[in-house]
Amino acid sequence: MRSHAYRLLNVFTRDGERLSGNPLCVFEDGAAFDTQQMQALARQFNLSETTFILPSERASARVRIFTPSYEMPFAGHPTLGTAHVCHALGLGGDALTLEMSAGIIPVHRSGARWTLQANAPQWRELDAPRAELAAALGLAPADLIDRPLWVNVGREQLIVPLASVEAVRRAQPRLEALLRLRSQDGGSMAYLFASYDRATPGKAAAERERLCARFFFPQGPTILEDPATGSAASNLGGWFIAMRDARGLRVEIDQGEQAGRPSRLFLELDAAQRILVSGEVIELGRGTLSL
């Protein structure tokens, strides 16, 4: 048997609280495992994602991301947490690149905060009546505003704007109905958001807008809620690009309250409308596994 080093981190933590944010396990030497073992280890740790660092000829490192059930081409909090570990291992400085199935993702650090630059987005309309979407989310049609869109910066997700933070908190998706809303790769993931500031007119453009968000996805016979979803925050950036001239947008996102893991994410769109998602990363501990 060999010993394999891993690290446990929390990503998108809030106000330095070590047990906030979204948990992540990162194996330092992914080359030691085949795909079947990686999937089995992700099931063993049973976190939302587990990542494996591998050598790359195109970037600072190559990264594979696994949920307990399947491999993912891109995910936000695994990107930032794995970048933190790559930096600690000397694979890159405060700016590095990670090769993923979705492409090369640039990442950089400023203190405890890591920022990723997402791929350029693609989007398409939702092919379902508004009443059907509202029912699938356990809401009324009046709770929906603007246009829900399927957005893809690495994995397609349904981005749904709601009329109020209260509606976001009240949502109770229904499994069978949600499963009928399918992404191009067969997923049924919905990201709901609303602004805390919608009732505040004349908000200065330079101020950071605050949003409340929740992310739901089916797993087996139930629906799970993710405490902090960087891929969905990236897709939200794509939604803003689709809906308006979003250059200079600055958004602070609260997520995870209902999941018992309060989290904070930051979304920015620069002058070129590049999507930047950031958050704090805290390493909790390290260990070895014998296999």
Domains of the chain, by residue range, sit at: 3-117+279-290, 122-278
Spell out, as residue ranges, where the chain has pLDDT lower than 70: 198-207
Active site amino acids: 49
Indicate the class that CATH gives domain 122-278.
alpha beta
At CB < 8 A and 24+ separation, what contacts does 161-164 make? 161/193, 161/194, 161/239, 162/192, 162/193, 162/194, 163/194, 163/198, 164/194, 164/198
- What's the pLDDT score for residue 227? 97
Q: How far is Cα of residue 175 from the mean position of the Cα atoms in its chain?
A: 21
Q: What is the DSSP letter of 158?
A: E
In whole angstroms, what is the distance from residue 50 CA to residue 59 CA? 20
Widest pairwise Cα distance in the chain: 64
Look at residue 208 in the predicted model and tell me its pLDDT.
84
- Give the pLDDT of residue 201: 44
- Cα 94 from chain centroid? 21
In order of 32, 102, 135, 153, the CA distances from 143 in angstroms are 49, 33, 11, 26
Strands (E), 181-274: 190-195, 209-219, 222-226, 250-255, 263-269
The first and second tokens of residue 93, run together, are: 């400085």
CA dihedral 240, 208, 252, 214 (to 10 degrees): -50
Domains 3-117+279-290 and 122-278 share a fold: yes
pLDDT of residue 202: 43
The pLDDT assigned to 200 comes to 47
The alpha-helical segments, DSSP class H, found in the chain are 35-45, 76-88, 130-136, 165-170, 175-179, 230-243
**Whole-number Å distance between alpha carbons of 155 and 65:** 13
**Do the Cβ atoms of 26 and 49 come closer than 8 Å?**
no
- CATH classification code of 3-117+279-290: 3.10.310.10
pLDDT of residue 245: 87
**Are 84 and 58 in contact, with CB atoms under 8 Å apart?**
no
pLDDT at 198: 63
